Structure 1
Amino acid sequence: MKCLFVCCILLYWRAIAYTQNLLANGGFEDENICIEYIKNCAPEAWIATSLTANYYFDATQKGAAKAHTGTHFIGLTAGSLSMEGIRNFVRTRLLCGLRKGHQYRLKMYIRSPHSILDSIGVYFSEQDYLYEKRYFKLITPQLWSINGMDTTIRNPAVWQKVEFLYTADGTEGYIAIGNYKRNDYTGIQHAEYRHDYYFFLDDVSLTPVDSQEKICLQADSVRRAIYEENERHSYLVRKVYQYRRNPPPVLPLPKTAHRKAQHIDTLVIPDIFFATGSYQLSPVSYHLLDSFASKLSLPVIDSMVVEGHTDSIGKLAYNETLSLNRAESVKMYLAGKVRGLDVKTTTRGFAYRRPLASNKTPKGRQLNRRVEIFLYKNDK
């Protein structure tokens, strides 16, 4: 039992090793294996709002069109020959939060056999677009394709680059792309899938304009969490139905930052430092957290992320609340010791979605009940 009170503080150096694209899987090459049919019928990170639509295309299949690059691309319903107001939008979570007033370059490639590319919109939102209750006609995207296209290209069937400069308001968490035209197109005679006519999308990227603004180092953790969203088809229908009625709390994203190199201090706090089934810190936790706080120097701290985790006992909603509240308790305790730390801290509650060990054994469940602190420190 004594060993349970020993917490590991891991210190390591790390450089940014991946591209500055703030969107995961922007080329749609990473395939999601859905948990319902065990099939690769969707891209990782990107989910379409019409949950049963055919929107993921493989260019290696017989008779298939070519992707812009690679072998996969997305096709989205722009309208229907049989019913008015049919649309399909695709959305993804950003890897890092955008900084208010900063500019970002959004680039994507679109094509369609129909002259419909002028009304493709890009909508940034704080909440997940899958749970949006408003009809698309009530939503105005921040960007329209017509403003970023080379309008001298007359053939809509070829891949066309669309590029924008977007000025962030600092609340962005998700991006959605689709046809936001309020009225349906006229004169279209044929459909790509059943009665639906499409436009196609590939190679989407969002990068800071300022070369000194870098992707956050927490992006790998956010990417893993995004890739763990494996619900598709009827599983996703049930999830969306639940969350449209009661949207989940919005987990803030760590912001991009100006940095050359950082290192990370990691502290793992087991659940023995909390009252049983509670988010109240127990007195035995104070010494550990006081020791951690005494080593903090605010000027070199870029940000801190506190993540709560539970075992799989109990309902998901209960565990989401418990894990987030435990993370909040740790944040507030440390913020009380280090003035100004609270504004640099992000909390997340993952419930039992990210276990360290099997939840089938008492020992595994004990390891999974934890709070993890990630302290990102700028090099001097």
Structure 2
Amino acid sequence: MRNAILLILTLSSWCASAQNLIPNGGFEDENICVEYNQNCAPEAWIANSLWANYYYYTPGKAYDGSHFVGLSAGDAYQKAAHNFIRTRLLCGLQAGHQYQLEFWVRSRHDILDSIGVYFSPGDFLFEKRDFKQLQPQLWATNTLDTLYQDPNRWQKVRLIYTAAGNEGYITIGSFNRKEYTFRGLPDFKREYYFFLDAVSLIPLDKKEQLCPQADSIKKDIYIENPRHDFLKRLVYINSRNPPAVKPLPKTVTVARVMPPPQHIDTLIIPDIFFNTASYQLSPKSYGLLDSFTNKLRTFTIDSVVIEGHTDSVGTLTYNEALSRNRANAVKGYIAGKLPPNKTTFTSRGFAFFKPVRSNRTPAGRQQNRRVEIYVYRKV
């Protein structure tokens, strides 16, 4: 049995201040549609379903934050009823340059290998061709470690894209040309979903940054408020006579003075350092935490993030409270050992929504019951 795992990770500062070309990649900013005056969609993103059947506000179930989207990959009665979601990029990409695309997915259906990413100069919503006639440049299956079907397990997709230089929009959805035979009940009405969160597109070139117009472009994108019937009419008109494609201003490559690198110290505290089924710290944890905090006294600390996790045994309400209380218990202990009012602490509980191992075995459940401490510090 392992008592603890201590990992030291070094990240360059450009990763911390990533130049994300995707607006509202976490779907946290809500769009207030003009037709019903409701927060029915994420800002910047529009799905080809044209309705509000893809936006979810479910704290604890999102990969990060409280919002995520669900996209249909099939219909119980209607074939090829796929749902796609698109957004406009904040800046144009430089031809031949490479960009890292990252997002998180989960599903209880055997469809993760059908998730594709389609870059296009014009708006996907006005595309005349059927999705089966389009060729995504990237497929999620090329990076997934497993096609594990677990509705509670988020899996990271990380892909490298070489730009053609004419990209204006990015679309994500199920592009599989062969329809699946789904089993079990649909996720929403008649439809079978996969879920998507935390989308980012970042230049691999450390000197490549957002274009100066990125903020104004983002404001223009957020102004796109038509949804439902208003959007249906807009799509009807523009799909028959697509508007001229307006190229985006390109990202810029500049010389950068690199500040001192930032380090992250990560301490994983297993379940054995807490009293059984309790958030009270066991005395055996004191030596480990004291050693950790003593080491931190020698560094300049920016912030400390503490996250609690449980296995899947028990109710969601119970596990949310247990994971949150365990994180707060560790926060209280560490805060009491560091100089007062000098460090920003953040604690949160994720219940059983971020397992590191399968909850189907006792060994897996034991590893999932943990508290993770992330200490952001300067060299």
TM tier, smaller? 0.5 to 0.7
Question: Which position in structure 2 is the counterpart of 1:10?
Answer: none
Q: Is the 8 A contact 1:97 1:254 kept in 2?
A: yes
Q: For 1:131 and 1:79, locate their aligned partners in 2 and report how far apart those are by CA, in whole Å.
A: 21
Give the SS at the match of 2:185.
Answer: coil
User: Which letter maps to 1:26?
Assistant: G
User: Which letter maps to 1:98?
Assistant: L
Establish whether residue 122 from structure 1 lines up as the match of residue 117 from structure 2: yes
Q: For 2:48 and 2:222, locate their aligned partners in 1 and report how far apart those are by CA, in whole Å.
A: 17
Question: Which position in structure 2 is the counterpart of 1:102?
Answer: 97
**CA-to-aligned-CA distance 1:313-369 (integer Å, 9 cap, x gap):** xxxxxxxxxxxxxxxxxxxxxxxxxxxxxxxxxxxxxxxxxxxxxxxxxxxxxxxxx
Question: Which position in structure 2 is the counterpart of 1:35?
Answer: 34
Question: Which position in structure 1 is the counterpart of 2:223?
Answer: 228
Q: Is the 8 A contact 2:74 2:191 kept in 1?
A: yes
TM-score (norm 2): 0.62
TM superposition shift of 1:260: 4.9
Counterpart among 171, 174, 178 of residue 179 in structure 1? 174
Moved over 3 A (4+): 152-157
Q: For 1:154 and 1:243, locate their aligned partners in 2 and report how far apart those are by CA, in whole Å.
A: 38
TM superposition shift of 1:189: 2.1
Question: Which position in structure 2 is the counterpart of 1:48?
Answer: 47
Give the SS at the match of 1:172.
Answer: coil
Question: Which position in structure 2 is the counterpart of 1:266?
Answer: none
Q: For 1:173 and 1:188, locate their aligned partners in 2 and report how far apart those are by CA, in whole Å.
A: 37
Question: Which position in structure 2 is the counterpart of 1:239?
Answer: 234
TM-score (norm 1): 0.61
Aligned residues: 241
Please identify, of 219-228 and 188-197, the stretch whose mean Cα deviation from structure 2 is larger.
188-197
Q: For 2:234 and 2:149, locate their aligned partners in 1 and report how far apart those are by CA, in whole Å.
A: 42
Q: Is the 8 A contact 1:96 1:255 kept in 2?
A: yes
TM superposition shift of 1:52: 2.1
Q: For 1:85 and 1:153, locate their aligned partners in 2 and report how far apart those are by CA, in whole Å.
A: 23
Establish whether residue 23 from structure 1 lines up as the match of residue 18 from structure 2: no
Q: For 2:248 and 2:235, locate their aligned partners in 1 and report how far apart those are by CA, in whole Å.
A: 21
Q: Is the 8 A contact 1:114 1:157 kept in 2?
A: no
TM superposition shift of 1:188: 2.0
Q: Is the 8 A contact 2:108 2:149 kept in 1?
A: no
Question: Taking structure 1 as reference, are residues 236 and 211 closer, same or farther at Cα in structure 2, changes over 3 Å only?
Answer: same
The Cα RMSD (Å) is 1.7
Q: Is the 8 A contact 2:41 2:52 kept in 1?
A: no
- Structure 1: give runs of 5+ residues left out of the alignment: 1-16, 262-380
Q: For 2:86 and 2:95, locate their aligned partners in 1 and report how far apart those are by CA, in whole Å.
A: 21
Q: For 2:223 and 2:30, locate their aligned partners in 1 and report how far apart those are by CA, in whole Å.
A: 12
TM superposition shift of 1:187: 4.0
List aligned pairs for 1:1-380, cutoff 5 A: 19-60=18-59, 66-151=61-146, 153=148, 155=150, 157-260=152-255
Q: Is the 8 A contact 1:115 1:156 kept in 2?
A: no
Q: For 2:112 and 2:159, locate their aligned partners in 1 and report how far apart those are by CA, in whole Å.
A: 15
Q: For 1:19 and 1:223, locate their aligned partners in 2 and report how far apart those are by CA, in whole Å.
A: 16
TM superposition shift of 1:178: 0.2
Question: Which position in structure 1 is the counterpart of 2:328?
Answer: none
Q: For 1:136 and 1:153, locate their aligned partners in 2 and report how far apart those are by CA, in whole Å.
A: 26
Q: For 1:212 and 1:195, locate their aligned partners in 2 and report how far apart those are by CA, in whole Å.
A: 47
Identity %: 57
Q: Is the 8 A contact 1:106 1:205 kept in 2?
A: yes
Q: For 1:133 and 1:70, locate their aligned partners in 2 and report how far apart those are by CA, in whole Å.
A: 35
Q: Is the 8 A contact 2:109 2:182 kept in 1?
A: no
TM superposition shift of 1:53: 4.8
- Structure 2: give runs of 5+ residues left out of the alignment: 1-15, 257-379
TM superposition shift of 1:153: 4.9
Q: Is the 8 A contact 2:110 2:147 kept in 1?
A: no
Q: For 1:52 and 1:87, locate their aligned partners in 2 and report how far apart those are by CA, in whole Å.
A: 13
Give the SS at the match of 2:105.
Answer: strand
TM superposition shift of 1:161: 0.1
**CA-to-aligned-CA distance 1:120-155 (integer Å, 9 cap, x gap):** 000000010000010011111000110021127564
Q: For 2:167 and 2:147, locate their aligned partners in 1 and report how far apart those are by CA, in whole Å.
A: 32
